[in-house]
Structure 1
Amino acid sequence: MFSKKALTIKEQIAQLQQRGLSIPNVVLAEKYLSNISYYRLGEYWYVMQLDKEQHLFKPNSNFKDVIALYNFDAELRLLLFDVIEKIEISLRTKLIYHLSHEIDPWWFQNLDLFNDSMALVKTLSNLQQELERSKDVTIKNHFKNHKDDKRFPPSWKSLEQTSFGALSKLYGNLKPTIKSKDIIAKEFGAVNHTYLPSWLQSIAQIRNYCAHHSRLWNRNLPGTVKLLSKPPYPWIVDSINVPKQHEFRKLYIHMCLMKYLINIIKPQNDFADRLNDLFVKYPNVDSDALGMKLDWIKEPLWKK
């Protein structure tokens, strides 16, 4: 039976000190712990512990390094969220445009176009909920002016209300015979539809971590991605710097895919500079925990 009692902030600090974490500025530590929970910060000091059963810290472990790591992670999430936003908007635009022209504006309701009808029903159910609670004037006016039309609003209205995750599922669930599926993949530099779904699912998952303020540093990502053997746009040329299959759980390869896509969407982007600036700002951050390669910024992918 769980028997631990809740600790006051002073007790939390005393416990950390007893376990070997240096906290020279107790007042500042109290300020942090009153705004960032002990449990959340624990995800960042966990790696500093020599004995993880007794929670004893390694020599020279310092509270300020915990906060630096926490701040690095927070700024990394903001950076990736900004990059992912542009990818999401581009994907939404391409889906709406190409499928509405190839099929019709209600293509996303057509069960015949999708491999998994049950998955589509679930996606549409979530979309319906989004539309019902939407405060968007366009959506409200559509339902008001088209009361007799029992369909969803057309794709250019409906799909503006849904999430990146739902968009990636719609794309991945499309039958391979749908021409637009390959067209969109080619526009994203993915050659054909077999590669892009795993990229989008990975990025959508990372977007959710960012949106919910979850830790990215030193996190194992459950998704896997399929890489092109010969990408049509700048990629990683040094074989040493290409992540191996067992490294796909680290963030680096997923950031590479984001960079690959954003280079196509917005060629003059500053993703590489901003990411490098983060490592300069926080020099004590262990970049290996993200799967970073030593000369990553020199690769053609990141130079662009």
Structure 2
Amino acid sequence: MQYKKSPHSIDDQIELLKERGLTIDEKDLANHYLTHVSYYRLAGYWWPMQSDKEKHIFKEGSLFSDVIHLYNFDRELKLLVFDVIEKIEISLRTKLIYHLSHEYDPWWFENVSLFNDSQALIKTLYSLQEEVERSKETFMKEHKKKYKNDCRFPPAWKTLELTSFGGLSKLYGNLKNTIKSKDVIAEDFGAVNHTYLPSWLQSIAQIRNICAHHARLWNKNLPGTVKLLSKPPKAWIADVPKQHEFQRLYIHLCIMKYMVNIIAPENTFTKRLLNLFEKYPSVDPNALGMKENWEKEDLWK
């Protein structure tokens, strides 16, 4: 079976949505958004409003304005989450550079003997090499000029400044469990030991990529799972989601909040998240897996 549908004009897209039952009170508003935000990007937000997913028929009372509220809520949510992840990323980078460089040497990330999976390390180093080669950072240009005969990577405090959160997460997770710094870093983040932190970082890296690529975060089924401490040393939540609820964003937000409370104790994550829900009252918090009275949990106070 071949795909035979033709492209639709903006006017045709609007008429199609109306024919399928989506109420569009302001055609100018619809025209504006469909001109700047593609039909299929917005489709992710009106998908739950459809009663017939095959024929794309909307439930009675479905409004285009609610679609836009969801889209704008999601956009602002991603900006908020990305801001929190930035703090975690910078802290993780700092700790990896500091602890491993002192426990071993500034080129520990090249040392195959420190890692479980040598093939995974090679892939990480290949990505690092690409970043180093195309870097326009002054400190990297100066290093290449001054140490042009040194065939190694620049030391960790230079090279890892160019690494993505995903790369940092992979380096940490791939470290052998006998490496002292692996437990030290986990303890610094309130994760007690190396057992839990890798899954937290993998989760955050996935969410960071969603935010960085401007994909939909609202109502997203997140891949993978996270390991939770039975008795965290820092403030946590009493109402912990069940395992099948881990695909929703809430537990991942809790992990970010747990870590950022250590990194930046005076953070305003709770206030900003509450303000976002207040700004967009039509957004159902259940789509993110938010628990009732989540803001009253010790973690979020």
TM-score over 0.5 for the alignment?
A: yes
Q: Output the CA distance in 2 between the equivalents of 1:109 and 1:143.
A: 18
Greater mean alpha carbon deviation, residues 23-32 or residues 111-120? 23-32
How big is the shift at 1:235?
0.1
Q: Equivalent residue of 1:61, what SS?
A: coil
What residue identity is the alignment partner of 1:301? L
- Aligned residue number for residue 148 of structure 1: 149
- Aligned residue number for residue 82 of structure 1: 83
> Structure 2 unaligned runs (5+)?
none
Q: TM-score, normalised by structure 1?
A: 0.98
Identity of aligned residues (%): 69
- Aligned residue number for residue 187 of structure 2: 186
Instruction: Please list the CA deviations of residues 26-69 of structure 1 after superposition, one character each: whole Å capped at 9, or x if unmatched.
Output: 11210111000001000000000011111000011110000000
The answer on 1:298 being equivalent to 2:300 is no
- Aligned residue number for residue 19 of structure 2: 18
How big is the shift at 1:286?
1.3
Q: What pairs with 1:13-52 in structure 2 (closer than 5 Å)?
A: 13-52=14-53
What residue identity is the alignment partner of 1:245? Q
Q: Output the CA distance in 2 between the equivalents of 1:160 and 1:104.
A: 16
What is the aligned residue count? 300
Q: Equivalent residue of 1:50, what SS?
A: strand
Q: Output the CA distance in 2 between the equivalents of 1:209 and 1:199.
A: 16
Q: What pairs with 1:200-215 in structure 2 (closer than 5 Å)?
A: 200-215=201-216
Aligned-CA RMSD value: 0.5
Matching residue within 235, 249, 252 for 2:250: 252
Instruction: Please list the CA deviations of residues 163-194 of structure 1 after superposition, one character each: whole Å capped at 9, or x if unmatched.
Output: 00000000000001110000000000000001
Q: What pairs with 1:1-304 in structure 2 (closer than 5 Å)?
A: 1-237=2-238, 241-303=239-301
Greater mean alpha carbon deviation, residues 96-105 or residues 137-146? 137-146
Instruction: Please list the CA deviations of residues 101-130 of structure 1 after superposition, one character each: whole Å capped at 9, or x if unmatched.
Output: 000000000000000000000000000000
Q: TM-score, normalised by structure 2?
A: 0.99
How big is the shift at 1:94?
0.2
Greater mean alpha carbon deviation, residues 138-147 or residues 191-200? 138-147
Q: Equivalent residue of 1:227, what SS?
A: coil
> Structure 1 unaligned runs (5+)?
none
Q: Equivalent residue of 2:51, what SS?
A: strand
Q: Output the CA distance in 2 between the equivalents of 1:188 and 1:28.
A: 45
Instruction: Please list the CA deviations of residues 236-285 of structure 1 after superposition, one character each: whole Å capped at 9, or x if unmatched.
Output: 12xxx211100011000000000000000000100001001111111111
Q: Output the CA distance in 1 between the equivalents of 2:283 and 2:296.
A: 20
